[in-house]
Amino acid sequence: MQHGSTAGRLRSPRLSRGLTITASAALVFTALPTGVAAATGGHTWVVHPGESIQAAVDQARSGDTIRIEAGTYEEAVCVVGKGLTVVGAGRGDDGTRITWPEWSTPDQLPDVDPTECWQAQNAADPESDPDTLADDVSGLFFLDPDGPVRVRNLSTHDHPANGIAAWGADGFRVTKTRAHGHERFGILAAASTHTRISRNILEGTDRGTAEAPNSGTAGIGITDSDASYADVVANDVQGYNIGVFARESRSGAIRHNYVAGNCVGILVFDDAATEIPDDSRQVAGGDWQLRWNEVTGNDRFCLAGVGEVEASLRVSGTGIGIVNADSVSVRHNDVHDNVPSVDPATLQFPAGGLVLVTLPPFNNPDGIDPGPAEGIVVEENTITGNVPVDVLLSSPQLSPFLGDVGAVDFEDNTCATSFPPGICTP
C-alpha cells in the first residue's frame, strides 16, 4: 500500500469469537496529503459503520490517528505497545458507540480471542477470573503504549471490564467521552503518568443483587503510580461504587467535577500494595489536590473492599474519603447532602461529608503499614447537610478497627456537625 495522497481499501482480518459485528469487514484507509501527515506525525485511518476498529488498530503505527465515523461498533479493542489518537464523531446516541452485548452476569458473555492485551489484563487484575477471558475485555484498552494516547468524542457501553483503560502510559488523555454500565472502571489510568481526564460523562449501572449490589468499581480511576501527575477535571460522574478513585497513586488534582449518586464520591486511598501490573511495588499514596468539586447525594449502598476484605464492607453516604494518604489538600469544595441509604450504624466504612480515616495494615502480604492519614489541609469548603456528620476523623474511640488521624489543618470551612465534636466550631 502506498502512503501519501492515494487512497486504498484493505480487507480487515477475521476477528473471530465476537470482537466485531462483521468478522471480515472492509476497512477504508484515507492517507493524508504528505504535508499534513508530516505536520501531524502520522496517518489517519478512517473506520466506517460495519468495519472493524481493531483492524485499523492492527494496521496503524504509533503516532497514527484512528477516526471512527458515527455508528455502533460491537467491539472490544485491544492496543498493544502503540500510542494512538482515537477520535469519534461524538459521544451522543447519534455519535460513535463502542458497545458490548447486553449482559447481567459474566457467564452470559461471548467468548473472546486470547490476545496479548486480554491475557495481560486477566493475569494482572485481581478482579479477573483466571478461568475465562470473557469478563476481562474493555471498550478501548492500551497496554504499555510507546507514545502518547489520545481518545475523544465517543462513547463506550456495557463492557465487563473498563470503558477506556491504559496501563503503563505516559501522556494519556481522555476528553469528551461517555462511559455507561461498565463492570469496573469507566476510565482507568493504571501505572501511568501525565494523565488528563477531562469533560467526560461516567454513568454506572447496578448489575448486582440486593445481597451484593455493584455498579462498577469507579467512574474514574488513577491507580498504581508513584508519579501519576494526573489532572481529573470537569467530569460528571454518577452511579458507581466510587465516583473518582485515586488509589495507591501519588501527585495529582481532582477539580471542578460533579460527583453524585455513588456510594463514595471521591476517595484518595493508600493501602501500601499496588495491583497493576503486579503487587511487588509500594507507593506512598497521597499529594493530591481536591478543589472546586461539587460532591452531593452520594447515597448508593454497595459492598466494597480489597484483598481479604473483598466485597465485605458495607458502604453508603460518603462524600469525600481520605484513607491513609498524606499531603492531601481539600479546598473550595461543595460537599452536601451525602446521606446513606441504610442505617449508618450498619456500615463498616464511615459515612459523612468529609471523612479522614486511618486503617491498620491490610491488603499486602508483608503487612506494610501505609501510615496514618496526615498532613491534610481542609480550607474554605462548604460541607453541609451530610449524615451522620459533616466531618469525621477516625479514631479508636469510634471503632477498634480505626486508628488516629495525623495532622489536619482545618480552617475557614462552613459545616455544622463533626466527630469528634467541636471541629466545625468557629
Query: Per-residue pLDDT tens for 257-292?
Result: 999 999 999 999 998 778 888 777 888 889 999 999
Per-residue model confidence (pLDDT) at position 1:
27
Residue pointed to by grid coordinates 441509604: 341
Give the mean pLDDT of the chain: 83
Please say if the pLDDT value at position 92 is more than 80. yes
Q: What beta strand segments (E) does 305-386 contain?
A: 313-316, 318-323, 329-331, 334-336, 352-357, 376-379, 382-384
CA dist 150 and 112 (Å) reads 25
CA dist 229 and 177 (Å) reads 21
- Tell me the sheet residues that pair with 316: 301
CA dist 357 and 419 (Å) reads 12
Q: Indicate the range of 127-136, 157-166, 186-195, 336-345 predicted with least confidence.
A: 127-136
**pLDDT band per the 50, 70, 90 thresholds, residue 27:** very low
End-to-end CA distance of the chain: 72
pTM of this prediction? 0.86
Per-residue model confidence (pLDDT) at position 225:
94
Please say if the pLDDT value at position 118 is more than 80. no
Per-residue model confidence (pLDDT) at position 211:
67
Q: How do the residues of the chain divide into helix, strand and coil, expressed in percent and rounded to 5?
A: 10, 40, 55
Please say if the pLDDT value at position 364 is more than 80. no
Joined grid coordinates for residue 229: 501527575
Cβ 305 vs Cβ 344: under 8 Å: no
3-state secondary structure of 418: strand
Query: Per-residue pLDDT tens for 288-300?
Result: 999 999 999 999 9
Q: What Å distances lie between residue 307 and 58, 169, 226, 271, 312, CA to CA?
A: 36, 25, 20, 10, 10
CA dist 24 and 11 (Å) reads 7
CA dist 195 and 230 (Å) reads 5
Per-residue model confidence (pLDDT) at position 418:
96
Burial class (CB in 10 A: 0-12, 13-18, 19+), 62: middle
3-state secondary structure of 307: helix
**Who's near 121: CB < 8 A, 6+ residues apart?**
128, 136, 138, 141, 143, 161, 167
- Tell me the sheet residues that pair with 268: 246, 322
**Who's near 348: CB < 8 A, 6+ residues apart?**
312, 313, 314, 315
Per-residue model confidence (pLDDT) at position 23:
28
Q: What Å distances lie between residue 339 and 156, 228, 264, 306, CA to CA?
A: 30, 31, 11, 24
CB atoms closer than 10 angstroms to residue 123? 12
Please say if the pLDDT value at position 242 is more than 80. yes
- Give the Cα-Cα-Cα angle 261, 377, 320 (nearest 5 degrees): 10
Please say if the pLDDT value at position 109 is more than 60. no
Q: What Å distances lie between residue 286 and 129, 227, 376, CA to CA?
A: 30, 10, 10
Query: Per-residue pLDDT tens for 365-421?
Result: 677 788 889 999 999 999 999 999 999 999 888 887 888 898 999 999 999 999 999
Q: Which helix (H) or strand (E) holds 90?
A: none
Joined grid coordinates for residue 117: 492485551
Q: What Å distances lie between residue 42 and 29, 33, 53, 61, 232, CA to CA?
A: 13, 11, 17, 8, 28
Per-residue model confidence (pLDDT) at position 163:
97
Domain at 67-419, CATH class: mainly beta
Joined grid coordinates for residue 166: 491504559
**Who's near 221: CB < 8 A, 6+ residues apart?**
185, 187, 188, 189, 190, 245, 247
CA dist 105 and 159 (Å) reads 12
Q: How far is CA 163 from its chain centroid?
A: 9
CA-closest candidate to residue 55, choices 83, 26, 33 = 26
Per-residue model confidence (pLDDT) at position 252:
98
Query: Per-residue pLDDT tens for 190-221?
Result: 999 999 999 999 999 887 776 667 788 999 99
C-alpha Rg value of the chain to the nearest Å? 22
CA-closest candidate to residue 277, choices 144, 83, 140, 82 = 144
Look at 307 and 214; give whichever has higher pLDDT.
214
Please say if the pLDDT value at position 334 is more than 60. yes
Q: Which helix (H) or strand (E) holds 33?
A: none
**pLDDT band per the 50, 70, 90 thresholds, residue 301:** very high
